[in-house]
Amino acid sequence: GLKAALFTTSTAAIMLSSSGALGVATGVIATNNNAAFSNNVGNNNWNEITAAGVANGTPAGGPQNNWAFTYGGDYTVTADAADRIIKAINVAGTTPVGLNITQNTVVGSIITKGNLLPVTLNAGKSLTLNGNNAVAANHGFDAPADNYTGLGNIALGGANAALIIQSAAPSKITLAGNI
C-alpha cells in the first residue's frame, strides 16, 4: 500500500535525479565557428561535454530546451531554434565572437571568467533573461540564477528587436555591456 507507493515515488525521484531531470542540466560544447542551435550531429559543430567542461570527442547536436552550453573557442553561435530555453551559457576561457539571435530565445544565466559575450538580436526577435535556471557542475560549470556576468554588448538589430528581463528574485541585475 502506502509503503510501496512511497518507495516507488522515491525510486522514481532517484532515477530522475541521476538522469539529469531534477535541476542538473544536460550540456554541449561548441567546437566550431558558426555553430547553430539547429545543428544535428552530422554538422560536427558541437560535442558532448565532460564533467570537467571539455569536449569529449563525441559529436552532438545543438543545445535543446533546458540544456546549457559552453563556448569551446572564439566562435559565433546562432540561436536559430524558435523559443529555445537555455539554462546557462559559459564563455569562460574564450573570447566569444558573439551570439546571434535569429529566433526568440530564453537564457537563465551567462557566466564568464573575464571575457564577455556580445549579442545581436535580429529584427522582430527577442532575448529573454529569465534568471530562474541554475546549473550544477556536471558538465564543466556552475551557474547560479540571475548571473549575467558574461553578457557583453547587446545590439538591437532592427525594428522590434527586444531584450526582456524577468528576474527570478526581486534583486538587482547588472548588465556589463552596452545596449
**pLDDT at residue 12, rounded to an integer:** 34
Instruction: With a cut of 60, say whether residue 164 has pLDDT above it.
Output: yes
Q: How much is the pLDDT for 6?
A: 39
Most confident option among 62-76, 121-135, 152-166: 62-76
SS (H, E, C) the chain: CHHHHHHHHHHHHHHHHHHCCCCCCCEEEECCCCEECCCCHHHCCEEEECCCCCEEEEEECCCCCCEEEEECCCCEEEECCCCEEEEEEECCCCCCCEEEECCCEEEEEEECCCCCEEEEEECCCEEEECCCCCECHHHCCCECCCCCCCEEEEEEECCCCEEEECCCCCCCCCCCCCC
For the cut 70, the answer to whether the pLDDT of residue 62 exceeds it is yes
Instruction: Indicate if the pLDDT at residue 138 is higher than 80.
Output: no
Q: Judge whether 20 and 138 are in contact, CB under 8 Å.
A: yes
**Mean pLDDT, rounded, for 49-75:** 92
1-44 confidence digits (pLDDT tens): 444 443 333 333 333 333 334 344 589 999 999 999 999 999 99
Cell of 45: 559543430
Task: Grade residue 139 by pLDDT with cuts at 50, 70 and 90.
Answer: low
Domain boundaries, the chain: 26-165
pLDDT surpassing 70 at residue 133: no
The predicted-structure confidence for 68-127, as pLDDT tens digits, reads as follows 999 999 999 999 999 999 999 999 999 999 999 999 999 999 999 889 999 999 999 999
